[in-house]
Chain A
Amino acid sequence: MVEYKPQYYPGSSKVAKNRKKYMDPSYKLRKLRTISDDDLVKLMGHRVPGEAYKSVHPPLEEMGEPACPIRELVEPTPGAKAGDRIRYIQFTDSVYFTPLTPYMRAWMGHTRYRGVDIGVLSGRVPLEARERDLEKVAKDLVETEIFDPARCGIRGATVHGHSLRLDENGMMFDALRRFVFDKKTGEVVYVKDQIGVPLDKPISVGKPIKEEELREMTSEYRVDGVPFREDKEMIGFVQRLHMLRTEAGFDPNKVKGI
């Protein structure tokens, strides 16, 4: 058997390497800030900190499950076991050198976390999971290097802003003004939760990452950064895949050794 090691992502550019790094679950994401559990719960706005998890069905042990070999085999997540509701955290990522592109959120989310439901839309990426599982995942998503306080937004609704110019403080536009730049501390502060409901106390998510650092960390191809077309290996990968899909649709038996 050929020695096989998961490779996650093709491409020779810096951006491709960053993509590969974030998607590889053996790479530990750098923690850049600490957000308390209670603050995170407040930011998402699904329950009040300390409040018991609401459930959508009884705990699995109580309700009993149908006789199914797959249910017997597959260990439910803690949230599923308890019958938690399914809740979400949603992000908007600016087109200006944020650590993750929308698609990267899905690829990375599925290689790192179990039992998650991620969708990619034009300007927003929701991640849904059982509530207590979601809180665990959300911690990673907000506390580590894949989140830039100024250019990533935690936005449940009115997500618009990913493709607009940054303001004078380098902040992504937010029609609901959920986050503000505190000039005194140099930190980004959330004054509303992800839906836009005002918070009792502002929550700081730390200082924005510097532009030059972001340019090193980003997984976005950009003409004024690392252009997609300059990553020949990546372009070759996409073109080959397109060719194989098309050839296979014509006659799968003719696709041999190419």
Chain B
Amino acid sequence: MAKYPDKVDLYDDRGRVFASKVPVEALSPLRNPAMQKIISYVKQCVSVNLEGIEKALATGEIGGKWCIIRGRSLKLDLVKNADSIADSLKSCLQVTKDDDTEVKVLKGGKHLLVKVPAKRLNAGVEYTTGFTATAAALCCTIVENFKVNLWDADLVHAAVWGRYPQTMEPLGGNVSSLLSVPQQNEGMGYALRNVPCAHIALITKKNAMNAAALSSILEQAAMFEMGDAIGNFERLHLLGLAYQGLNANNLVYDIVKENSKTGTLGDVAVSTVKRAIADGVIKPLEKKPSGYTAYTTNDLNKWNAYAAAGLLAGTMITCGSARSMQHCPSVFIYFNDLIERETGLPGVDFGRVAGTGVEMAFFSHSIYGGGNPAVFHGNHIVTRHSKGFTIPCVAAAVALDAGTVIYTPEKISGVVGETLSEVPELREPLRYVNEAAVSIHGGI
């Protein structure tokens, strides 16, 4: 029995209908198997920069930039022997022969995509197992396969793990995961929010719809983990994820299409209001002496979902038409201002997205400098305030940029984004989540 009565039609990233009347709970991180797979993969999948390790060992530059130990070096042909390293690494990580361990050789041996078996994660309480198991197994593998002696093994450790444990994070290491070390999370349940938008854009190969979907899944799943999406607030997040992140009822795509040639951000706000009126989400409350009509709603959660979908569409129109990511904070503030003035109803996340926009604008534009939108994430001190409704738009904006920033997403993301884009569920989340929703539809 479903908890909530809401049903939505599912669409793909090109506005084609996939299934009708699917309960919104089939799109919940608590129920949808594809979302749970995505969350698992985020913990299980780790990337290894074999070329980086080879270089670090050859030059003695280990544990961070300019940290060179003169006279210490090892010439090991890791890239050339990537296949045998992958085989040994796999057997080292495996718990049982037929488990879900995977090691994939990429870019001619320069990189490895490692999937640590779920059994290893299940036997602990921390998501860091993915990283620690891979890094440790890789050290063992290199020492074994290349017959590294007692006196040089420390170099291998430093090339793989970086300066850890002298530093909190593996500084200058060559194994990386999407998730940061727990000490870098702003509070309880923030782990899935600590993924910079640069990674999201690259994993989804800069498909803006999939970038927004993946980001929304991670953000909203984190809302459940943080204790936000529960009780009175669960439906707010479920509808937000469905309409904003997963293009439910084709709302995002339709609004973008309507404004694709000449639309402004103001036009997108107007289209959103029009659609909300047409779908009966909002209705006039009273006409003021000036002729201004204030609107009201009997379903504020749904209005929020419509406004959130409009916000993403507004980002796609503004950042998309300029092919530039830097416009997104301006969208966050003024889309909300405009839609609030248009209706008299609160903007996305009841003002929290507008507030986030103000801070993000300062930290990405002003005298402070800060960084471009690609470095921001839901755990960032200036963009963590909205409960999952801002970051999907940032991810879409980063995906739509044609190359206007000095520090490109590629430079920021490094090996991780590129490597993890090999995982189909992470690269095309919309498709897999839709399929999974249909598969469990009857059970809800």
Contacts and interface: CB of A to CB of B under 8 A. Distances in A.
Q: Which 7 A-B pairs have the closest CB atoms?
A: A111-B266, A115-B322, A57-B403, A74-B320, A115-B321, A66-B206, A117-B327
Interface stretch (A3-11, A35-43, A44-52): A3-11
Contact of B277 (A2, A66, A237): A2
Contacts of A223: none
Contact of B350 (A6, A118, A248): A248
Interface string B251-273: 00100110011111111001001
Interface stretch (B19-27, B80-88, B122-130, B332-340): B332-340
A175 interface: no
B256 A73 contact: yes
Interface string B145-175: 0000000000000000000000000000000
Interface in A1-28: 1-2, 4, 6-12, 16-17, 23, 25
A74 B321 contact: yes
Nearest to B284: A2
A12 B320 contact: no
A237 B288 CA distance: 10
A100 interface: no
B275 to A, nearest CB: 10
Given A57-B403, A69-B209, A77 B321 contact: yes
Contacts of A126: 365
Given A12-B288, A17-B290, 10 more contacts: A2-B283, A10-B290, A10-B344, A16-B290, A23-B266, A57-B404, A74-B316, A80-B323, A110-B330, A110-B338
21 contacts: A1-B278, A2-B283, A7-B291, A8-B341, A12-B289, A16-B290, A25-B266, A65-B402, A70-B208, A73-B256, A75-B260, A80-B321, A107-B334, A107-B341, A115-B318, A128-B326, A133-B322, A244-B350, A248-B350, A252-B350, A256-B297
B236 interface: yes
B233 interface: yes
Contacts of A118: 330, 334
Contacts, number: 223
A258 B322 contact: no
A80 B324 contact: yes
Interface string A90-124: 00000000000001001100111111111111000
Contact of A10 (B317, B323, B333, B341): B341
B296 interface: yes
B215 interface: no
B393 interface: no
Contacts of B274: 4
Contacts of A257: 285, 296-298
A4 B323 CA distance: 32
B288 A233 contact: yes
Interface residues of B, number: 79
A246 to B, nearest CB: 8
Interface of B: 13-15, 205-209, 232-233, 235-236, 253, 256-257, 260-267, 270, 273-274, 277-278, 283-285, 288-294, 296-301, 304, 316-318, 320-324, 326-327, 329-330, 333-335, 337-338, 340-342, 344-346, 350-351, 361, 365-366, 396, 399-400, 402-404
B320 A70 contact: yes
Contacts of B277: 1-2, 4
A56 interface: yes
A233 B290 CA distance: 8
B207 A68 contact: yes
A237 B278 CA distance: 23
Q: Which of A68, A240, A257 has the most CB of B within 10 A?
A: A68
Contact of B321 (A75, A120, A121, A128): A75
Nearest to B312: A70
A71 B13 CA distance: 12
A11 B264 contact: no
Contacts of A11: 290, 292
B288 A10 contact: yes
Contact of B334 (A17, A60, A110): A110
Contacts of A110: 264-266, 318, 330, 334-335, 338
A200 interface: no
A74 B323 CA distance: 9
A63 B402 contact: yes
Contact of B327 (A4, A116, A236): A116
A17 B249 CA distance: 36
Nearest to A256: B298
Q: Which of B209, B278, B334 has the most CB of A within 10 A?
A: B334
A154 interface: no
Contacts of B350: 244-245, 248-249, 252
B399 A68 contact: yes
A17 B290 CA distance: 9
B266 A248 contact: no
Contacts of B208: 68-71
Contacts of B288: 10, 12, 233, 236
A171 interface: no
